[in-house]
Amino acid sequence: MAKMNLLQAVNNALDIAMAANERVVCFGEDVGVFGGVFRATSHLQEKYGRARCFNTPLVEQGIIGFANGLASQGSVAVAEIQFADYIFPAFDQIVNEAAKFRYRSGNLFNVGGLTIRTPYGGGIAGGHYHSQSPEAYFAHTPGLKVVVPRNPHQAKGLLLASIRDANPVIFFEPKRIYRASVGEVPEEDYELPLGKAEVVREGSDITLLAWGAQMEYLELAAELADKEGISCELIDLRTILPWDVETVAASVKKTGRLLISHEAPITGGFAGEIATTIQEQCFLHLESPIARVAGLDVPYPLALEKEYIPDQWKIFEAIKSSVNF
Amino acid sequence: MAKMNLLQAVNNALDIAMAANERVVCFGEDVGVFGGVFRATSHLQEKYGRARCFNTPLVEQGIIGFANGLASQGSVAVAEIQFADYIFPAFDQIVNEAAKFRYRSGNLFNVGGLTIRTPYGGGIAGGHYHSQSPEAYFAHTPGLKVVVPRNPHQAKGLLLASIRDANPVIFFEPKRIYRASVGEVPEEDYELPLGKAEVVREGSDITLLAWGAQMEYLELAAELADKEGISCELIDLRTILPWDVETVAASVKKTGRLLISHEAPITGGFAGEIATTIQEQCFLHLESPIARVAGLDVPYPLALEKEYIPDQWKIFEAIKSSVNF
Amino acid sequence: MNTDTKDRTIYKPQFIRGDALKIPTYRVLKQDGSLYKNAQAPEVDQPLALRIYSSMVRTRMLDERGLASQRQGRLSFYMQSTGEEATTVGFAAALDDQDMIMTQYREQGALVYRGFTLDEFMNQLFSNALDYGKGRQMPIHYGSEKLHFMTISSTLATQLPQATGYAYGQKLAGEGHCTVAVFGEGAASEGDFHAALNMAAVLKVPAIFLCRNNGYAISTPASEQFAGDGIAPRGIGYGMHTIRVDGNDILAVLEATRQARKIAVEQNEPVLIEAMSYRLAAHSSSDDPSGYRSNAEEAKWRDLDPLLRMKNWLLQQGWWSEEEDKALFEADRQAVMAAMKKAEKVGRPHIDEMITDVYDIPPAHLQQQLQDLKAHIRLYPEVYPKSALQLDAPEGVNRG
Amino acid sequence: MNTDTKDRTIYKPQFIRGDALKIPTYRVLKQDGSLYKNAQAPEVDQPLALRIYSSMVRTRMLDERGLASQRQGRLSFYMQSTGEEATTVGFAAALDDQDMIMTQYREQGALVYRGFTLDEFMNQLFSNALDYGKGRQMPIHYGSEKLHFMTISSTLATQLPQATGYAYGQKLAGEGHCTVAVFGEGAASEGDFHAALNMAAVLKVPAIFLCRNNGYAISTPASEQFAGDGIAPRGIGYGMHTIRVDGNDILAVLEATRQARKIAVEQNEPVLIEAMSYRLAAHSSSDDPSGYRSNAEEAKWRDLDPLLRMKNWLLQQGWWSEEEDKALFEADRQAVMAAMKKAEKVGRPHIDEMITDVYDIPPAHLQQQLQDLKAHIRLYPEVYPKSALQLDAPEGVNRG
Ligand SMILES: Cc1ncc(C[n+]2csc(CCOP(=O)(O)OP(=O)(O)O)c2C)c(N)n1
Ligand SMILES: Cc1ncc(C[n+]2csc(CCOP(=O)(O)OP(=O)(O)O)c2C)c(N)n1
Ligand SMILES: [Mg+2]
Ligand SMILES: [Mg+2]
């Protein structure tokens, strides 16, 4: 075990993946010599050479188009999009191409070797274009997997699993806690399962569900609730698509209540999908409406960021409302 | 009043908009001399000249980028994307630019004059890339309005309102019923309100909600249900964003049941948003789980299209399940 | 900066005009089958010449019958490549059969040349259970793993950056293969075109970008698509080896592509080829060109028919006769019709194929959705008669 | 087809090499302030020269103080334009003040030239209630409707097709204005660049595309951004008037842009200008260039300082003295610091601005969300102290 922050865990996972399989190739804007603007790819070019870790020209649609082609050829393509806010020029290559590659060819060709890494989320004074959480856009797209880790240990295991998964994966990295989240991480090669949520804390009164950086607020809110005698069960969804209905439904059947929190604007966010599925599966168990604590329906603001964030206080209030319904 | 099909109604609305305001400009791939591949812009170049109705080069991101600039200059830009399946290369210009233009500039600049028209939906043997219903992707984007008409009368009134609305609007045209949907349409200039759903049929046992071409299946299903003595209230949402919570909630409070249908894949579709909001607002009124009848979570298939479609039989079965819950 | 401006300084503000760079067209073969005075025929022996020519003829017959059966309502959709066969067959003939081909949709000639059988064509066109694509895409979206022909996607130009990536993988693999990406002059307006060519030049990949400049993108003439001298000068802008060829001249296309391949594979440098031709047919079976272009214009190009040109050359070589020619056309026409009849009789893909290949393994929610769908079909067998019949049958034999 | 290939035929397959088209650089002014032998100074009188120079100096001082206060923790972020002032001020000086300017983010020089006040700069940088952008975007995302300067967006190259559209609107309006879009050589790799320039050429719009080729895109050197001779040859590919200028040469930039504007406005034809310069500072306050380039390289370019070059020219003209120069720098430094202090004291945008401007009128759901937020803030005033104070105050006075 070693103490690592989330960035180091990502870097370590990439290092291990590249060492274990020479077909793994990492690329993106400033990913080469510089090691990425967050330094997630530090030293990889030094270690594995320019052919396997390199800068691309500044063109996201090209990066993902290139990655699709490279993956279809049989290489393992790990593409970085510098900020999740800049993934949209590549939307067509992701949604129309990567997601449909295997299906449309009847499995003659596939881009299972593709992983897209990208830092997402706010709380870093990034304004509209360095703060977005676009996971829901991709979660409406059959053929993709969407993964978000909450801490260094999860990041390493989930990223290694994503790189090796036989399907295209978008791996969203919570940049607010890139350095702040520090923890023990096994030094060896390990994978955590995709498509499986994790119950990180058991409780009996209400189920709290989130992913990525938002898990921190959930935990703080659960502590606040604890003090009021409300017992919260905490679930980290980890994989947004395909998501683990079973684990969530089992928890809600037990607690009778569900609160989902994400940073993205509330309307059309992925909480809607979860809530709808759960109200269907757990209708007779629900003691109060499923609650959402999410971003407002506005572009991510700068000066009013603190007010925008679905923080522990908002979650705590929603917990109380749900329990007192 | 005149008998028109949906395409003619669209063409008529564009004609009226261009005649009434010389700053209205229509453009897109093949929209000039040819009048668009579906002929929605027929004769507009003849009538209003090449400067106001013209072909663009084949580049969707350019078409919408151009449209954003043109609208920010004060023109009224009506851009056509040939198929909604091809709107994704323009995703960044829509989601990062059009949607945030006013907010990010503190209202110094805006692209309120922008309307994007695009044919959407399946049922025409179009396979993956001539069948998609991508409305949910845009409905997760504050700053946009998203509108879908169900018939010629609605198409004309909603399109005129969209063109004149002071916000960027994506106007999805149900191409399956472009020619099949025929009805009386007032010849004069009129607008129908954005952001307002329409109760198209009153009923007491269950509320059925959809938009666009899917309304046809809803009506057929309601007739089937009628024969079994189930009284359905039918609502056409018309505007997906911002949507009319009030009308839907009022209906559900009356009927106690809600079924939502859309053609897009179920996971992450807009039904999830509606259901979640309604379970919150109508929790104590709901007599059964809110039901969704939607596309499967697969790319739109060709040979198995009939099986894929959320048709009246699937809706009818879901109605019965809901009523018998 | 790799722009060393030292010794190229001007002291007056001279703008370079857009038409400063005129790219000439490489031609070998005249329409009458003779060579241009200064031209030299590439090395082509009789078997290769006949393989090429018969592929062009078969492509023509495929297209003739394809459209006819669309008109008869047997096919839902078809796209002809008439007039462009010298380009689409010619480039394929210049390649190693292991080189990857990624096309737009009007390049059936290349597939014919590679040996895609009529049955394989027809299974795709009829979306039957034997279609490698499992009936999921519209007609003409062919693909063949064994022939190194990437399954076609309708979204224009997306294959171009993919070709750059594929070629990069080939370079890493070091087995001496290249990728050829083919696209229309309309598709060259897409952002993906720019991304692909620039990245290919910077990352030095063994890729050939072959633009079929056939004058139209559906109804949009090239004059409303770009203002410069076609697509070729853009290659120079990217710092890429570039050539323009007469796309109706089989020998020019063949030789240009051969040399392009040599550059790509030996130097790991991409090449841009612009093949000038004309889309003689409608854009697709859904299109009617009479609304946007004249018969006279079409007639002018019909006179430049690439099949005729090659036939004339073959005749002059003494490798071919009018009788053989007639017989070949007729035999191919019959063969195409026979294959059609056969494919029409094959059942359609199994309902289980609705959810396979979305992921490597169908996840739980998709299995549930399929199960629900099947339960529904059991309730309404008359609404979904074809799949109702399949419910209890084993999954179809449709893997290629 | 507008590619008439008739009289330009070749009979041997000659590939044109990527370096076939070398575009020279237009220069007027040497570093010592004298003109090149064959060069001619554009018409510039003393007042204009001093307006230009003082804008360059102010830009330099803004950048110096901007970075310093980021280092002090007063600003969250800053981007310097050091080394590129001749380009960013020079192009603005060549325009009509009504022409629209759409920039990337490193063009504060143009805004200074147009008369954006230090207070206006500071209000944006400090995201205070007087910021026209209502504190919604990161520092340096300026905009001014009255100065015809489009609010900056962080997403690279998106302003380019927008400039094409804006210019199209100007052409329709027929008032003789044009649009200038400025972007980096890195941004020129984006698909939007291709879309913008091709559409501009085809639709014949009065737009000037000005590329600041400063050698780097964050850490990525131009050599890993493109393989050709910079950005200029692409203009030729699009059939567009094109020129390359020494971006550190104020007179060359001024004259090239003046003539470009003439072409744009009089002929309704777009123009591409590539200005060769160097990003002397770090990419932004978050960047440290020592990881990817050498001090020696930086030093070489520091010797080509465009301010110094212009000052030398002014001195030679007898329009300026070292004393005046020192005084100007010092006065500007003081003025910037004073404006900063002032802006820091202005309160932040009102909480109500959270939901305005998403739409023209806040729809019901946004009003509800704001109401809920305010109710929450009332519960936890200590968590959101600044907005808690605003709850009962009237909305701020922050419209420009
Ligand atoms: C991204 C995208 N936009 C639009 C279309 C619709 N479309 C299909 S073919 C076509 C014209 C293509 O013209 P060109 O590239 O010149 O090829 P050609 O048909 O002439 O062979 C268009 C606009 C599409 N398939 N994909
Ligand atoms: C679409 C997009 N992708 C990536 C970024 C992140 N980014 C910001 S600036 C920059 C480099 C831009 O370089 P260049 O265009 O050369 O301008 P310069 O900084 O040299 O002035 C990058 C990659 C972005 N802002 N937008
Ligand atoms: Mg074409
Ligand atoms: Mg740069």
pLDDT (tens digit per residue) in C255-273: 999 999 999 999 999 999 9
CB D101 less than 6 A from any atom of ligand 2 = no
Q: Report CA dihedral (B239, B245, B250, B251) to the nearest 10 degrees.
A: 50
Q: How does D39-72 read in b/e, with b if 16+ C-beta sit within 10 Å?
A: beebebeeeebbbbbbbbbbbbbbbbbbbebbee
pLDDT for residue C85: 98
pLDDT for residue C392: 78
Mean pLDDT, range B150-167, rounded to an integer: 98
Mean pLDDT, range A230-249, rounded to an integer: 98
Between CA B283 and CA A286 the distance in angstroms is 10
CB D185 less than 6 A from any atom of ligand 2 = yes
pLDDT digits (tens, 9 = 90+) for A254-287: 999 999 999 999 999 999 999 999 999 999 999 9
Collect all residues of chain A within an 8 Å Cβ-Cβ radius of residue D189: 57-59, 62
pLDDT digits (tens, 9 = 90+) for B238-264: 999 999 999 999 999 999 999 999 999
- Judge whether residue B289 has pLDDT over 70: yes
> How many Å lie between the centroid of ligand 4 and the Cα of residue D106?
10
What is the value of pTM for the model shown?
0.98
Mean pLDDT, range C142-168, rounded to an integer: 98
pLDDT for residue C398: 40
pLDDT digits (tens, 9 = 90+) for C180-193: 999 999 999 999 99
The residue of chain A nearest to residue D186, with distances taken between CA atoms, is: A58
- Judge whether residue D395 has pLDDT over 60: no
SS3 D158: coil
Between CA B197 and CA C274 the distance in angstroms is 52
For C:234-293, CB contacts with D below 8 A are 234-246, 252, 255-256, 259-260, 263, 271, 276
pLDDT for residue C397: 43
Q: Could you say which ligand is closest to the alpha carbon of residue D193?
A: 2
**CB pair distance less than 8 Å for B142 and A267:** yes
The alpha carbon of residue C355 is apart from the nearest alpha carbon of chain B, in Å, by 6
Between CA C204 and CA A54 the distance in angstroms is 13
Between CA A112 and CA A98 the distance in angstroms is 9
**CB pair distance less than 8 Å for C383 and B311:** yes
Shortest-distance atom of ligand 2 to CA B92:
1
pLDDT digits (tens, 9 = 90+) for C32-58: 999 999 999 999 999 999 999 999 999
pLDDT digits (tens, 9 = 90+) for D295-354: 999 999 999 999 999 999 999 999 999 999 999 999 999 999 999 999 999 999 999 999
CB D42 less than 6 A from any atom of ligand 2 = no
Mean pLDDT, range C348-370, rounded to an integer: 97
**H/E run at residue D195:** helix D191-203
The alpha carbon of residue B99 is apart from the nearest alpha carbon of chain D, in Å, by 8
pLDDT for residue D13: 87
The percent of residues above 70 in pLDDT, for chain A, comes to: 100
Of D136, D155, D354, the CB nearest to A307: D354
> How many Å lie between the centroid of ligand 1 and the Cα of residue B138?
24
Between CA A98 and CA A76 the distance in angstroms is 14
Q: Which CATH number fits domain B2-185: 3.30.2130.30, 3.20.20.450, 3.40.50.970, 3.40.50.300?
A: 3.40.50.970
pLDDT digits (tens, 9 = 90+) for A192-237: 999 999 999 999 999 999 999 999 999 999 999 999 999 999 999 9
- Judge whether residue D294 has pLDDT over 80: yes
Collect all residues of chain A within an 8 Å Cβ-Cβ radius of residue D224: 32, 54-55, 57
The residue of chain C nearest to residue A76, with distances taken between CA atoms, is: C169
Q: Which residue is catalytic, options A29, A97, A130, A135?
A: A130
pLDDT digits (tens, 9 = 90+) for D77-88: 999 999 999 999
Between CA B149 and CA D68 the distance in angstroms is 56
Q: What is the mean pLDDT of chain D?
A: 95
> How many Å lie between the centroid of ligand 2 and the Cα of residue D83?
17
CATH topology of domain B198-323: Rossmann fold (3.40.50)
**H/E run at residue C101:** strand C100-102
- Judge whether residue D128 has pLDDT over 60: yes
In the chain, the amino acid numbered B181 is: S
The β-bridge partners of B209 are: B235, B260
**CB pair distance less than 8 Å for B280 and A289:** yes
pLDDT for residue C18: 72
Q: Could you say which ligand is closest to the alpha carbon of residue D217?
A: 2
The alpha carbon of residue B222 is apart from the nearest alpha carbon of chain D, in Å, by 30
Best mutation target, B70, B144, B196, to test chain D (most D CBs within 10 A):
B70
- Judge whether residue D44 has pLDDT over 90: yes
Flag whether residue C268 sits within 8 Å of chain A, measured between CB atoms: no
What are the residue ranges of helices labelled H in B228-269?
245-255
- Judge whether residue C350 has pLDDT over 80: yes
Q: Is B46 a catalytic residue?
A: no
Tell me the CA distances in angstroms from D166 to B49, C318, D103, D156, one per residue in order: 19, 62, 13, 17
D22 pLDDT tier (thresholds 50, 70, 90): confident
pLDDT for residue C22: 85
Mention every residue, 6+ apart, whose C-beta is less than 8 A from residue C142: C108, C111, C116, C120, C121, C124, C133, C149, C151, C152
SS3 A100: helix
- Judge whether residue A311 has pLDDT over 70: yes
Mention every residue, 6+ apart, whose C-beta is less than 8 A from residue D299: none
Mean pLDDT, range B54-60, rounded to an integer: 98
Of C3, C198, C227, the CB nearest to D201: C227
Kindly report the number of other CB atoms within 10 A of residue C303's CB atom: 9
Chains touching C by CB (3 or more pairs below 8 Å): A, B, D
**CB pair distance less than 8 Å for B296 and C76:** no
State whether the Cα torsion D261-D262-D266-D267 is positive or negative: negative
Best mutation target, B66, B96, B102, B239, to test chain D (most D CBs within 10 A):
B66
Mean pLDDT, range C56-73, rounded to an integer: 97
Mutate to test the pocket of ligand 2, among D183, D218, D226 (most ligand atoms within 8 A of CB): D218
Flag whether residue C126 sits within 8 Å of chain B, measured between CB atoms: no
- C357: region left, alpha or beta (phi > 0 left; psi from -120 to 50 alpha): left
Residue B265 and residue B297 in contact, taking contact as beta carbons nearer than 8 Å: yes
**CB pair distance less than 8 Å for C220 and B29:** yes
Collect all residues of chain D within an 8 Å Cβ-Cβ radius of residue C11: 26-28, 36-40
The residue of chain C nearest to residue A68, with distances taken between CA atoms, is: C162
- Judge whether residue D5 has pLDDT over 50: no
- Judge whether residue D220 has pLDDT over 60: yes
Best mutation target, B59, B128, B315, to test chain C (most C CBs within 10 A):
B59
> How many Å lie between the centroid of ligand 1 and the Cα of residue A171?
32
Domains delineated in chain C = 25-344 (3.40.50.970), 351-389 (no CATH)
- Judge whether residue C177 has pLDDT over 80: yes
D397 pLDDT tier (thresholds 50, 70, 90): very low
pLDDT digits (tens, 9 = 90+) for D108-123: 999 999 999 999 999 9
pLDDT for residue C4: 47
Shortest-distance atom of ligand 2 to CA D155:
26
Residue C142 and residue C151 in contact, taking contact as beta carbons nearer than 8 Å: yes
Note the ipTM here.
0.98
Enter the DSSP assignment of A93.
I
Select from A267, A270, A322 the least CA-distant residue to A299: A267
Tell me the CA distances in angstroms from A269 to A211, B150, D6, one per residue in order: 13, 26, 58
Chains touching D by CB (3 or more pairs below 8 Å): A, B, C
Flag whether residue C155 sits within 8 Å of chain A, measured between CB atoms: yes
- Judge whether residue D6 has pLDDT over 80: no
Collect all residues of chain C within an 8 Å Cβ-Cβ radius of residue B59: 189-191
Q: Give the residue carrying structure tokens 């290629």.
A: C400
CB B58 less than 6 A from any atom of ligand 1 = yes
pLDDT for residue D3: 43
Q: Which residue is catalytic, options A60, A97, A219, A263?
A: A60
C1 pLDDT tier (thresholds 50, 70, 90): very low
Backbone angles phi, psi at B135, to 5 degrees: -60, -35
Given the DSSP bridges, would you call strands A291-295 and A145-147 parallel, antiparallel or unpaired? Answer: unpaired
Mutate to test the pocket of ligand 2, among A37, A58, A130 (most ligand atoms within 8 A of CB): A58
Between CA A133 and CA A263 the distance in angstroms is 7
Domain ranges across chain A: 2-185, 198-323
The residue of chain A nearest to residue B291, with distances taken between CA atoms, is: A280
Collect all residues of chain A within an 8 Å Cβ-Cβ radius of residue C150: 72, 109
> How many Å lie between the centroid of ligand 2 and the Cα of residue D67?
19
pLDDT for residue D1: 38
Enter the DSSP assignment of B97.
I
Between CA D149 and CA B249 the distance in angstroms is 45
Q: Is B29 a catalytic residue?
A: no
Q: Could you say which ligand is closest to the alpha carbon of residue A126?
A: 2
Residue D40 and residue D28 in contact, taking contact as beta carbons nearer than 8 Å: yes
Question: Do B2-185 and B198-323 agree at the fold level?
Answer: yes
Backbone angles phi, psi at D10, to 5 degrees: -120, 155
